[in-house]
Structure 1
């Protein structure tokens, strides 16, 4: 599927999605946190702090801080890898899946409003 948007239309779409998030009182996530969350939910597991840091070209503490916030919100869980206790495995949660489903619905609604 190919979608063609002008820069102004793309920004309008992004704006509408953000306004919908504020109106729905959804959690405020940074761009980095959202990128991590989407990686965890859209790419098959397993996901580790080390792997996410390498993928996003940031340090492990940067990932840990983002995961701390998302963990507080119930969007992800973490546990030690039983096979290698040095690794922390990131787990999806029902709340995180519902958050992203709602976010996806907002993107669809915003895109439909562009027509």
Structure 2
């Protein structure tokens, strides 16, 4: 279902959600980290460090740094691919799913507050 909002409303929504995340959430993720997290949760697995780097157009070390931070927060986990030891599989966690569920609820709430 398409959403019909003006540019100013889209920016206001992004601002309001970002502000609420900074104020209310324990995990204050960078745009790169949130993109990695959303990619892993919204697109079908498997996800690898190499695949995420290619998809986002960044280096593998950049993905590794993002995963290090999110691993400490328990939003994602990693394991070595048993079939190909060169690959690192990125996996979803319960904590990550709950974080995104709360974030989605926050976005919906802030969208309802947008001036019309």
Both proteins in one fold, TM over 0.5: yes
Q: Map 1:1-115 onto structure 2 (within 5 A).
A: 1-114=1-114, 115=116
| CA–CA distance in structure 2, aligned partners of residues 97 and 20 of structure 1 | 19
| CA–CA distance in structure 2, aligned partners of residues 36 and 97 of structure 1 | 13
Structure 1 residue 20 displacement after superposition: 1.8
Structure 1 residue 19 displacement after superposition: 2.1
TM-score by length of 2: 0.95
| CA–CA distance in structure 1, aligned partners of residues 86 and 42 of structure 2 | 25
Q: Secondary structure at the match of 1:78?
A: strand
Q: CA RMSD in A?
A: 0.9
Structure 1 residue 58 displacement after superposition: 0.8
Q: Identify the range of structure 1 (13-22 vs 102-111) with the bigger mean alpha-carbon deviation.
A: 13-22
Count of paired positions: 115
TM-score by length of 1: 0.96
Q: Identify the range of structure 1 (86-95 vs 10-19) with the bigger mean alpha-carbon deviation.
A: 10-19
Runs of 4+ with deviation above 6 angstroms: none
Query: Could you give the per-residue CA deviations for residues 1-21 of structure 1, whole angstroms, max 9, x where no partner exists?
Result: 111211110011111111221
| CA–CA distance in structure 2, aligned partners of residues 66 and 23 of structure 1 | 21
Structure 2, unaligned runs of 5 or more: none
